[in-house]
Chains A and B, each alone.
Chain A
Amino acid sequence: MAELRMVQAVNRALAEALAEDPTVILLGEDIGAAGGPFGATRGLQEKFGPDRVRDTPISEAGIVGAAVGAALSGLKPVAEIMFMDFITLAMDALVNQAAKARFMFGGQRGVPMVLRTPHGGGLSAGPQHSQCLEAWFCHIPGLKVVCPATPADAHALLRAAIADPDPVVVVENKALYAMKGEVEDAPAPLPIGRARIARPGRDATIVAYGAAVHWATEAATALAQDGIEAEVIDLRSLQPWDEATVLDSLSRTHHLVIAQEAVEAFGVGAEIAARMADIGFDELDGPILRVGAPFTPVPFAKELERAYRPDAARIAAAVRRTLD
C-alpha cells in the first residue's frame, strides 16, 4: 500500500503497463523528456526510451490518427491530449476511425488504444482549457469512457483501459491530480463499467463522477447534520455505466440527484435521469434532479468561475428539493 497523488497513480499505471507489455507505447506533446505538462509521464522516457514514450509535434489529429493505425497494426498506444479542449482537433480520428473500425470492418479487428486527457476547471484556465466534454464521447457507439475520482481508481481504470480491446477515453480531472489517496501495491483488476458506493445512505441517491464525487460527499456530510443520509455513487465509468448499481440504490432511497462538473444540458446526467425515469419510475418518490454547470463557457475570473462551478451547497439543495 502506498499513498500517491492521483497524477502519481496515473504514472504508476503507465509504468506498469510499459513494463509488462512491450506493445504498449505512449504518444503525446511534451510527455517524454519534459515528463508531461502535469507530470503524469515523468521519468517514463528515461526508463522505457524515446521510441516507447514518444514526444510528438503539436499535431492532435496526427497523434490520434497514428494511434488508430498503430492499434490496428499490433501496438497498444496510449495517446495523451494535453487538455480535453484540444480534442476538437482530433475528433475525426477518434469518432470516425477509432470508434467505428471494429464495427465497419465486420469485427476483423478492434482498436485497442487509450486516449488520456485532463478535463475540468477551478484553475482559472479559461474557456479553452477547462471544459468537460466527456458527454460527446459517451454518445459515440464504439468508444468507452471512464473518469476516476480517486488515485486508486485512476490507477485501476487506466490499467483496465490499456487492457481493453476497444478504444477507451480516460478522462482525468486536472484539479484532482494533486489529491492523495491509498493505492494498493497489486490491486485486483477493476472492470470498466462498475460504479462504487462512495458513501452509503438510505434517504437519497447522489450519482456523480470525477470532481463532483467529492462535492457530493461533502454535501452528504452536510445533509447528515440534519439527519438526511444521502448515498453517494461514484460512477467511475461513464460508457458503459453501471445502471444496476444506480437502480439498486434508487430502489432503496427513492430519490435521485445527479451531479457533474460538465454543463448540465444534454450531459451524462441527462442520460442517467432519462434511464432511471424509465426503468426506475415505480421507485421514484420525487423528481430526478441534475446539478451541473450553467449553459455558458467556463469563465476565467476567479469569482466568475466560482459562480459557474457546481459545488456541495448546490448538490445539498437539490437533495433537499427532491425530498421536499
Chain B
Amino acid sequence: MSDPIALFRMMLTIREAELALARLFADGEVPGFIHLSVGQEAVAAGVCAALGPQDSVASTHRGHGHALARGMALEGFFAEVMAKSTGLCGGRGGSMHVADLKRGMLGANGIVGAGPPIALGAALAHRTRGTDGVAVAFFGDGALAEGTMHETLNMAAIWRLPLLLVCENNGWAEFSRSDTQVAVNLPAWTAAYGVPHVEVDGNDVQAVATAAADAVAGLRRGEGPRVIEARTHRWRGHYEGDPQRYRDPEEASRMAEHDPIARARAAMIAAGAAAATLDAAEAEARDAVAAAIAAARAAPPADWMAALNGVYAPAEV
C-alpha cells in the first residue's frame, strides 16, 4: 500500500493549487485558458506515486495535477501559469504547457491526443538506452477518438514497450458526453490490441496507486504496455469560465459525494490517523500554495528578449 499521507498531501497540493488558480483566473491574474482537474486529483497522485525519477510522463490540456504530482515545484508552476519570467517555461508556455523535463515531465499539451505518441517515444528511449525507465501518457476519454491513440497502442503492443496509458475517464469531451463520440469502450479497445486493461475507481487514490504500481512493475519486467482506466469526475467546467449550459446542474450537485480527498481522509481516520495530523497537512498545502503565489506576484514579467532568442539552441561560438 502506498503511503496514505503522502498521497493525501499530493492531492491537497493539487486541489489547493487549482482552486487558487480559479480565483486568480477570475481576478484576471492568470491570463488565457485554464482547464482544472478538481475532483480528478487521485488519478495524478496515485499514478505518479508509482513512478521513479527515471520515468517519463506526457500529459494533456488538463495537466496541472500531473505536473505537480511529478514533483514540479509550486514556485515555478505558479510563476509559469501567471506568465512570469521565473516560470519554469519562462512564461512562454502557460497552463497548457507546464513541463519539467528534469523530472521527466514532458509537458502538458494543447493538442488532444498528442501526448501518447510522445510517451511512446520516451518508452522507446528507455528501452533503447537499456534503462528500466517507463513512460506514462495520461489521456481523456474524449481523446480516444483521435487517430494517434490507435497508432500509439498498436506500436507499443507490437514492440512491447514499457508504456502505461492512463485514461482519465470523466465522461466529458469538452461540452459533449464522450459516449456520443466514441463507439468503443476501453476493455474492447485494449483487447483488440492484446493489451491488458484494468478499470479502477479514479476517486480512490489507494486503488489508483495499487493499479499503477502493479502496471509499472509489469512494464519494468518487460511485459509490454498496459492501460488503466480511472473513472472520475470533472467538477468544474471544461475551462474556467465555462457556463456549462450543456450540463445538468443536478450532476454538479452530486460531485462532492465522490471527492477523492474526503474519501482518503475518511479512510485514514478510520484506520486510526489523528485528525490533527490531517488538518495540519491541509494547512501546509494551503501555506505552500500561498507562498508560491506571493513569490510569483513579486516576480518580473516574462522576458521578451529571452523568448526571441529561445527558438533555437544558442549558436556555438
Which residues on A are within 8 Å of B, measured CB to CB? Answer: 23, 25, 51-52, 56-57, 59, 61-62, 64-75, 77, 92-93, 96-97, 101-110, 141-142, 144, 164-166
Contact = CB atoms under 8 A, between A and B. Distances in A.
Contacts of B88: 105-106, 108
B158 interface: yes
A144 B125 CA distance: 23
Given A103-B307, A104-B97, A69 B89 contact: no
A61 B93 contact: no
Interface string B69-96: 0000000000010000001111111000
Contacts of A97: 109, 111, 114, 118
Contact of A72 (B80, B92, B122, B127): B122
B17 interface: no
A97 B109 CA distance: 9
Given A66-B118, A97-B118, A106-B90, A52 B128 contact: yes
Contacts of A75: 121, 124-125, 128-129
Contacts of B121: 65-73, 75, 77
Contact of B97 (A65, A67, A105): A105
B167 interface: no
B158 A69 contact: no
- Closest 5 pairs (CB-CB, A-B): A65-B117, A69-B121, A62-B151, A106-B90, A66-B121
A104 B89 CA distance: 6
B117 A105 contact: no
A102 B91 CA distance: 13
B210 interface: no
B208 interface: no
Interface residues of B, number: 50
Given A69-B106, A92-B111, A103-B307, A62 B120 contact: yes
Contacts of B123: 69
B118 A72 contact: yes
Contact of B155 (A52, A62, A141): A62
A54 B101 CA distance: 26
Given A103-B307, A104-B93, A106-B92, A57 B122 contact: no
Nearest to B126: A73
A108 B89 CA distance: 7
Contacts of B80: 106
Given A57-B154, A61-B147, A66-B155, A109 B101 contact: yes
B280 interface: no
A166 B151 contact: no
B155 A166 contact: no
Given A66-B121, A97-B114, 17 more contacts: A57-B151, A64-B117, A65-B116, A65-B148, A66-B120, A69-B125, A72-B121, A77-B121, A93-B114, A96-B110, A97-B109, A101-B107, A104-B92, A104-B97, A106-B91, A110-B312, A110-B313
